[in-house]
Amino acid sequence: MSTANIYKIMDDPNSLDIDVERVRRDFPMLSQRVHGVPLVYLDNAASTHKPTLVIDAIRRVYEQDYSNIHRGVHELSQRLTMQYEEAREKIRVFLNARSRAEIVFTYGTTDSINLVAQTFGRANIGKGDEILISEMEHHSNIVPWQLLCEQTGATLKVIPFNDQGNLAMSDVEALLSERTKLVALVHVSNALGTINPIGPIIKLAHDAGAKVLVDGAQAVAHMKTDVQKSDVDFYAFSGHKVFGPTGIGVLYGKEDLLEAMPPWRGGGDMIRTVTFEKTTYADLPYKFEAGTPNIAGGIGLGAAIDYVHDIGLKHINHYENSLLAYMTRQLLNVEWLKIIGNAPCKSGAISFMIEGVHHNDLGQYIDHLGVAIRTGHHCAQPVMQHYGVTGTARASLAFYNNTQDIDRFIEALEKAKKFLL
Ligand code: PLP
């Protein structure tokens, strides 16, 4: 169901403002008290909250339309199949993919990357070949490639980042060679907030004859992603980081590449015919979708995309950039605090440390003041190793945050410093 025209945030269509108070009312989780005080949620890079629209869409699946999809001839199955496939179409439009065949439902970013490693990777990467990743990857864009290298004898190469948190194009160029078969790169770093220049890197990789996978887990909720414009070969993201449910994600892949890749998981729904002698496979994207999928998850993700679409990624991006600038200024004013990662192009997240205070103690202390942030290695241990730390504290934004959230966060840090130091 489209939300078009039922949700109007901007009175003036030329304004890039978001009515945050109105937005916040759409997220039931945000109005609660934690430890007796109103919640300030700044852990959006870990997972985002869900608007009522998404919760209602999932509820409707189980209350009104529930059945299994794709194989039933009865009304309920057909109704739900239609909704699931409509969600796929919404995702196609969201990413500007050419065709629905290019949108594979997975369990999340991690699952999407493993799919590419075990299908494209196994079929195209062998001994002597190289896979290029960066030093700022989430573990889910490191470990699948390490496993593939162990299985095939390929070599993993790493693009370093500088202390600011930036990759240098000269390093990318220097590390690319005719042996590079794949570049797997994060779009926005979850640990540093750096936005990587994926367009120019994709171009360099293609010129060297390599394919490119981009991990978009931290990007899609914050900026417009256009897979045709960037010419990326594979793009992965998770539903739960873009206001949708957990357990659902997406792999975009160019149709010719997906077509040529062998299936990964075998089972129902991914086949055309099965005999004991030979099995033939279903058309894209079903070839990669074995078994009963997360039906409510897919439909819930479609509703989340409707919601984001109705607010508009242009507005979201503009608003979040000003909020990030505000949070950065406030944190820079705190002289006993150090920001980790100062790339000029950042999105959503700020990692930081307070000398003499363990990040976990800090996180627990400010939790008691109602402020939820993330502490630890953020599943990016190589980033921590770069800075010689075991972990950081990280505050991360969504468009439902406001300056009052940031003021409460800064006040909580002041109190934590007095108590913990
Ligand atoms: N990549 C990045 C940059 C992330 O931030 C995350 C999650 O935090 C992931 C991948 C993995 O996402 P998921 O656990 O939803 O598969």
The domain tally of the chain equals: 2
Same domain? For 205 and 82 the reply is yes
**Domain of 160?**
55-310
Neighbouring residues of 138: CB distance < 8 A, sequence distance ≥ 6: 109, 186, 190, 191, 215, 217, 378, 379, 380
Same domain? For 170 and 40 the reply is no
For ligand 1, residues with CB inside 6 Å are 45, 108-110, 138, 140-141, 186, 190, 215, 217-218, 238, 379
Q: What is the pLDDT of residues 17-44, one digit of tens each?
A: 889 999 999 999 999 999 999 999 999 9
Q: What is the pLDDT of residues 201-222, one digit of tens each?
A: 999 999 999 999 999 999 999 9
pLDDT of residue 14: 54
Is the Cα torsion angle 175, 123, 291, 270 positive or negative in sign? positive
Residue with the smallest CA separation from ligand 1 atom 5 is: 190
Query: How far is ligand 1, taken at its centre, from the CA of residue 248, in Å?
Result: 12
Phi, psi (deg, nearest 5) at residue 340: -105, 110
Query: Which of 295, 310, 325 is the last residue before a domain boundary?
Result: 310
Residue 210 DSSP SS3: coil
d(CA 287, CA 251): 13
Residues of the chain by 3-state class (helix, strand, coil), percent to 5:
45, 20, 40
Q: What is the pLDDT of residues 130-168, one digit of tens each?
A: 999 999 999 999 999 999 999 999 999 999 999 999 999
Phi, psi (deg, nearest 5) at residue 185: -135, 140
pLDDT of residue 15: 63
pLDDT of residue 1: 38
Residue with the smallest CA separation from ligand 1 atom 12 is: 109
- Burial pattern 58-97, b for ≥16 Cβ within 10 A else e, equals bebbeeebebebbeeeeeebebbbebbeebbebbbebbeb
Helix ranges restricted to H, 231-380: 255-260, 295-311, 313-332, 359-367
Same domain? For 132 and 229 the reply is yes
Residue 27 DSSP SS3: coil
Query: How far is ligand 1, taken at its centre, from the CA of residue 339, in Å?
Result: 22
Candidates 304, 185, 303, 278; CA nearest to 234 is: 185
Atom of ligand 1 nearest to the CA of 188: 3
Q: What is the pLDDT of residues 382-414, one digit of tens each?
A: 999 999 999 999 999 999 999 999 999 999 999
Query: How far is ligand 1, taken at its centre, from the CA of residue 140, in Å?
Result: 7
pLDDT of residue 262: 97
- pTM of the predicted model over 0.75: yes
Q: What is the pLDDT of residues 113-130, one digit of tens each?
A: 999 999 999 999 999 999
313 to each of 25, 240, 282, how far by Cα in Å? 19, 17, 34
d(CA 235, CA 6): 31
Residue to probe by mutation, ligand 1, list 43, 48, 105, 110, most atoms within 8 Å of CB: 110
Candidates 19, 15, 81, 22; CA nearest to 51 is: 22
Query: How far is ligand 1, taken at its centre, from the CA of residue 137, in Å?
Result: 10
Count each helix (H run) and each strand (E run) in the chain, helices first: 15, 17
Atom of ligand 1 nearest to the CA of 240: 15
Structure-model confidence comparison of residues 195 and 14, the more confident one: 195
Residue to probe by mutation, ligand 1, list 106, 116, 194, 218, most atoms within 8 Å of CB: 218
pLDDT over 90 at 350, yes or no: yes
Same domain? For 43 and 150 the reply is no
Query: Which of 310, 327, 355 is the last residue before a domain boundary?
Result: 310
Atom of ligand 1 nearest to the CA of 379: 8
CATH number assigned to the domain comprising residue 382: 3.90.1150.10
Query: How far is ligand 1, taken at its centre, from the CA of residue 394, in Å?
Result: 15
Atom of ligand 1 nearest to the CA of 215: 1
pLDDT over 60 at 99, yes or no: yes
Residues with a catalytic annotation lie at 379
Query: Which of 285, 310, 335 is the last residue before a domain boundary?
Result: 310
Same domain? For 120 and 262 the reply is yes
Q: What is the mean pLDDT of residues 216-241?
A: 98
Residue 221 DSSP SS3: coil
Same domain? For 65 and 199 the reply is yes
Neighbouring residues of 400: CB distance < 8 A, sequence distance ≥ 6: 20, 23, 24, 26, 27, 30, 49
Query: How far is ligand 1, taken at its centre, from the CA of residue 215, in Å?
Result: 8
